[in-house]
Chain A
Amino acid sequence: MRLFLRCFSALRGDGGGGVFLGVHEILERIKNEASAERERILRDAEEQAKQILEETKAYLEKRRLAVKMREEKRGEEEKMRIIRSARLEARRIKWSAEQEITNEVFENAKKRIREAKKNGFRGKSYDEILAGLVKEAAISILSPEHEMNAREDLEVLVSDEDANFISQSLLNKISDEISREKGVKIRLSLSKERINASGGVIVRRKDGKVEVNNTFEKRMERFMPILREKVARILLK
């Protein structure tokens, strides 16, 4: 439309004279303008296409950087998580080693009880060891308010195996010692009842109201926190 108007106005301006020359010029001009328009349209399109591709490239580069940053952050977090878990695992390995050797100590200590029954321990025979445990249990049964000269009848319970190590004369000796040391009358007797334990004794009042369990299992259980600490200190020194 624009080209047509231009041509028309050119014809009108010519005033009728020299029409043929004018026509050639007009035709030339139309061709030139069409050509120029064609070039402009294509140049614009090329420019637009170039811009589309450049913008896309820039956008993709930006997105690539964002992906890189996001993945590096995610990767770093995952790395930290793996390392944290590895540190925990490393601590668990060391802790397991400590537990393993500590448990070994307790297992071997249990085995050594059997040996102590045969050969004694630190120069003491097994019956002397049992006597010590009976004495300790009996004294702890006596209340501070125990009436002087009142007699306390206590019975001693042992396993079948340990019954061979305790005699009434030994219990009398212990009773005498306690009576002498604590100023109380005490009578210890061996119960016919047998207990299931690897060793040690239970001492209880005849009326059954109070008892002290000094079997090795119970002592192990009672002193376990102290023992674990002690064993760890010795093992890791």
Chain B
Amino acid sequence: MASEVAEALKQIRACEEEARRIVSEAREHAAKIVRDAEEEAERMKKRAREEERRLAEEIFQRFVREAEEEKERFLASARKDAEALKERARRNEEEAIEAVLEVLFGFKR
């Protein structure tokens, strides 16, 4: 009987040892799962930083591109207006020259 009990206890201890090993391995595995997740999170953050830099540049450049297009439209329109203005002004140039001479020659002030 005593030997049976001893055998039973031995089996139980071995089983408990096995159980502890299983649990311990599970904890190690669990720690690895969490560690992997943390590492993956770090990788995601790193990738995100790259992506954010790219996104930031892309957004900024989009606005700059739009602005440059608008700027070109403004300037093209201004250049066109300036040419039209010069053309219109040149039609009156003779009159303007005479007005200057009138003042220089003392005809008018």
Contacts and interface: CB of A to CB of B under 8 A. Distances in A.
Interface of A: 3-4, 7, 11, 19-20, 22-23, 26-27, 30-31, 33-35, 37-38, 41-42, 44-46, 48-50, 52-53, 55-57, 60, 63-64, 67-68, 70-72, 74-76, 78-83, 85-87, 89-91, 93-94, 96-98, 100-101, 104-106, 108-109, 112-113, 116, 121-122, 124, 129, 132-133, 136, 200, 214, 216, 219-220, 223, 226-227, 230-231, 234-237
B15 A234 contact: no
Given A23-B11, A68-B55, A231-B100, 9 more contacts: A19-B8, A49-B33, A78-B60, A86-B75, A93-B78, A93-B81, A94-B78, A113-B101, A133-B105
Interface string B88-102: 111011011111111
Contacts of B85: 94, 97-98, 101, 236
Given A45-B30, A234-B92, A71 B55 contact: yes
B7 to A, nearest CB: 8
15 contacts: A22-B8, A27-B15, A30-B16, A37-B19, A41-B27, A56-B44, A75-B59, A79-B63, A97-B85, A116-B101, A116-B105, A133-B105, A227-B100, A234-B99, A236-B85
Interface in B60-102: 60, 62-64, 66-68, 70-71, 74-75, 77-79, 81-83, 85-86, 88-90, 92-93, 95-102
Nearest to A97: B82
Given A94-B82, A105-B96, A34 B71 contact: no
A161 B68 CA distance: 57
A71 B89 contact: no
A55 B25 CA distance: 27
Given A42-B26, A64-B52, A89 B78 contact: yes
Contact of A129 (B79, B81, B105): B105
Name B's interface SS: helix
A83 to B, nearest CB: 6
Contacts of B59: 68, 71-72, 75
Contact of A71 (B16, B60, B101, B109): B60
A96 to B, nearest CB: 7
B27 to A, nearest CB: 6
A79 B33 CA distance: 48
Interface in B1-50: 4-5, 8-9, 11-12, 15-16, 18-20, 22-23, 25-27, 29-31, 33-34, 36-38, 40-41, 44-45, 48
B83 A97 contact: yes
A56 to B, nearest CB: 4
Given A27-B11, A38-B26, A48-B34, A223 B63 contact: no
Contact of B63 (A64, A75, A87): A75
A57 B95 CA distance: 75
Contact of A30 (B8, B19, B31, B68): B19
Given A48-B34, A48-B37, A83-B70, A121 B100 contact: no
